[in-house]
Structure 1
Amino acid sequence: MKLLKTTIFLLLISCSFLQAKTDTIEVFSKAMNKSLKATVVKPAGIDGLEKQLPSVYVLHGAWGNHLDWHKNVKKADLLQSLADLYQIILVTPGVAPFSYYYDSPLMDSVQYETYISKELIPFVDANFPTIKDKNSRAITGLSMGGHGAMMIAAKHPELFTAAGSMSGVMNIDVRTWVGNEDTQEQRRKSQQEMLGDIEYDYPFSPYTAVGLVNQMKQNGIALIIDCGVDDFLIETNRQLHQLLLENETPHEYTERPGAHTWDYWTDALPYHMLFINQVFEKKKIRSLD
C-alpha cells in the first residue's frame, strides 16, 4: 500500500509538471460572437524566464478539435518533444468541423480566417512569451488544416515566414478527390452553404489553395507540402505543386508512402518542424547581419 501511494504521488507530480508546460486557453471571437479553445505547448523550463520564443500554429483536420494533435498522434508527447527540441511554442487551435478555416461570405458563424489572424494570434502574443514578429512565426496543418495553413498564410504574409501542409485539401473541388463519393457530396453541400456559388475551374476561387498561387509567389513565404501516395487527396497536392512550378514559386514538395492517417501525420510533423526551424534560423542570422 505504501508503494502504491508513493507511485500515485509521483504520477501526480509528473502530471502537474506536464500541465505546467501545456495550457488550454479559451479565446472569445468578436467576429463570430463565440469562444473557442486552443492548446499552447511551451518548452520545459521556460516558465519564470525572461525569454521570448518563436511560435508555430498547427491546425487540425475535419471533425477535429484543439486536442487532436495531442490525443491522436502515434508517438507519446510528440508536440512537447518538438517544443523542447526546437525551443518553440506550439499552438493547436480548434475550429468547426468543415469550416476549412474560411471567412464565409454567407455565415457569421464561420469567420475562422479572421479568428486565427486577428484574434487568436494577438491573444497568444499578449499572454505567452512569443517573439512578436513574422520572421519567428509559422503555420502548418493536416488535411483541412493544411488548406487553412496555406490559405491563411497566402492572405496574411505580414504574419508568417513559413507555411506547410500535410495531406492538405489543396483544391476544395471534390471532383479532384479520389474515391469516397458520399464524403465528397457532403463536402460539396457544406461548401455551398458557406461559400455560395464559387469558381471551381481555372483560375480558381480564392477560397481554395490552388487559387492563391500568385499570392504565394509574391509573398515569398517558405512553403513545405507533402502527401502520402495512397492519400485520396494526392491529386490536389500534385496540382498545387505543378502550379507552383509553373509560376516559379520556391517550395519543398514531397510524396511519401502512406495514406490519410495519423501514422502518416505523426511522421510528417517532425519534418515540418525541422523545415520551419531552419527558416527561423536563417531569418535570425540575416537580422544580425
Structure 2
Amino acid sequence: MGKSGEMVDGTIYSPSLGFDWNYSAYCPYLDGEASISTLPVVYLLHGATGNHRNMTERFLLPEFLDECMELGECRKCVVIFVDGFNSFYLNSRCFQMETAVIEDLIPTLEARLELKPTRDKRFIGGLSMGGYGASNLALRYPEYFSKVMALSPAVWYSMTPSTVTYEWHVFRDQNDVFDHELWNRQHPSASLASYQSKNLPVSFLVMTGGMDDAVSISEVKRFVTDLQAYTEVDVHYLDDGDHSWPFWEYGTYYAFKHFF
C-alpha cells in the first residue's frame, strides 16, 4: 500500500471566536489529472474533552482511509477534523462555535483547499458530543449537509447532576445554574420542525451500544424515534458496544465504507 494521502495541519482566524483556530485535514492520494475540487468533503467532530487530532491519533483514521481507498472499498473524499473544544458545537456565552463552523471554517477551508462540494457531497459526523453537534448542525443547516454520522450521540433528553457534562458552562445561566429550558431548546430534536420546512433531506447513520454507561441506549433510541418521523435513519444498536474508542473506531470505519 503505497498511495498515501496527505495530512494537513493549520489554523484559520475565526472572527466568530476571536482567535486563531486549529484544524487538521486529510487529502487523499489522487491519480493523474483527478481534481480535489470534485471530491466529497466530510467534517468530523470530536467528543467531550477531546480535540481535532483524536481521530487521527486514537485509531489512525488516515491510514485506514489510505488502504480503504486504494482497495476501492470507500470513495475518495477530503476529511476535515474540527476542534470544537467543549462547546457542544453551539453558540453560547463562552463560544460562538455554531456560527464559527458555518460562517468561518467551512467557507475558509473549502476556499483554501480548493474544494467545491455541493450539499449532496458535503457530510458531517461526530462521536458523543460530536454526534450531538453533527446532528444539530445538519438539522439547522440542511442546505450545507446531506448526511450525518452520529456515534453514541450525547442526546440526553433529561439532564441530572449525575450526567457527565452537567457541570459544564455551555448550558448554565449567569448564576451558574443549569438551564434546563436552554438544554431543551438546543437539543437536536428541537430543530426537526424547522428542518422539515426547508425540504432538504438529510440522511442519518446512528450507532450506539447497549453497554454505553455515559449516554444510555434508551436516550439514543428516543432520538432515533424522533428522527424517523422526519427523515431516513440507518440505525445500528450493538449489544456489546460501549462509550469507547474501539467502538467509535468500528463505527467510523463502517461509515466510510458504507455510508459516506
TM-score of the pair, normalised by structure 2: 0.84
The offset of 1:163, in angstroms, is 1.2
- Kindly indicate whether residue 87 of structure 2 is the aligned counterpart of residue 99 of structure 1: yes
CA distance in 1, matches of 2:233, 2:163: 33
The offset of 1:86, in angstroms, is 1.4
State how 1:3-152 maps to structure 2 within 5 Å: 21-45=6-30, 49-52=34-37, 53-73=39-59, 77-82=63-68, 85-96=74-85, 98-104=86-92, 106-107=93-94, 110-152=95-137
Structure 1 unpaired stretches of 5+: 1-13, 278-289
- Kindly indicate whether residue 257 of structure 2 is the aligned counterpart of residue 271 of structure 1: no
CA distance in 2, matches of 1:119, 1:63: 22
Q: For each residue in 1:5-41, what CA deviation from the matched residue of structure 2 results, as whole angstroms up to 9, or x when unmatched?
A: xxxxxxxxx9xx96x7110020111011111111110
Find the residue that maps to 1:181 and give its secondary structure: coil
The offset of 1:125, in angstroms, is 1.1
The offset of 1:226, in angstroms, is 1.1
Q: For each residue in 1:93-115, what CA deviation from the matched residue of structure 2 results, as whole angstroms up to 9, or x when unmatched?
A: 1121x2100011x33xx111111
Q: For each residue in 1:41-70, what CA deviation from the matched residue of structure 2 results, as whole angstroms up to 9, or x when unmatched?
A: 011246985442110001100111110001
Kept in 1, the 8 Å contact 2:135–2:148? The answer is yes
Q: For each residue in 1:190-216, what CA deviation from the matched residue of structure 2 results, as whole angstroms up to 9, or x when unmatched?
A: 421599735279xx31x1122223244
Over the matched positions of the two proteins, sequence identity in percent amounts to 21
Structure 2 unpaired stretches of 5+: none
CA distance in 2, matches of 1:276, 1:128: 24
Structure 1 residue corresponding to 2:193, chosen from 193, 201, 214: 214
CA distance in 1, matches of 2:64, 2:123: 18
Q: For each residue in 1:100-141, what CA deviation from the matched residue of structure 2 results, as whole angstroms up to 9, or x when unmatched?
A: 00011x33xx11111111111111211214233111100000
Kept in 1, the 8 Å contact 2:171–2:182? The answer is no
> Where does structure 1 differ by over 6 angstroms across 4 or more consecutive aligned residues?
none
CA distance in 2, matches of 1:249, 1:24: 35
The offset of 1:250, in angstroms, is 2.1
- For 2:154, the aligned partner's letter is V
- For 2:88, the aligned partner's letter is Y
Question: 1:47/1:68 Cα in 2 relative to 1: closer, same or farther (>3 Å)?
Answer: farther
Find the residue that maps to 1:26 and give its secondary structure: strand
Question: 1:144/1:73 Cα in 2 relative to 1: closer, same or farther (>3 Å)?
Answer: same
Find the residue that maps to 2:167 and give its secondary structure: helix
- Kindly indicate whether residue 224 of structure 2 is the aligned counterpart of residue 241 of structure 1: yes
RMSD of Structure 2 on Structure 1 (CA)? 2.8
The offset of 1:249, in angstroms, is 2.7
2:209 aligned residue? 228
CA distance in 1, matches of 2:29, 2:140: 33
- For 1:70, the aligned partner's letter is T
Work out which of the two has the higher radius of gyration on C-alpha atoms and give 1 or 2. Answer: 1
Question: 1:83/1:151 Cα in 2 relative to 1: closer, same or farther (>3 Å)?
Answer: farther
Aligned residues: 248
CA distance in 2, matches of 1:126, 1:74: 26
Structure 2 residue corresponding to 1:191, chosen from 167, 171, 188: 171
Greater share of helix residues, 1 or 2?
1
TM-score of the pair, normalised by structure 1: 0.76
Kept in 2, the 8 Å contact 1:171–1:210? The answer is no
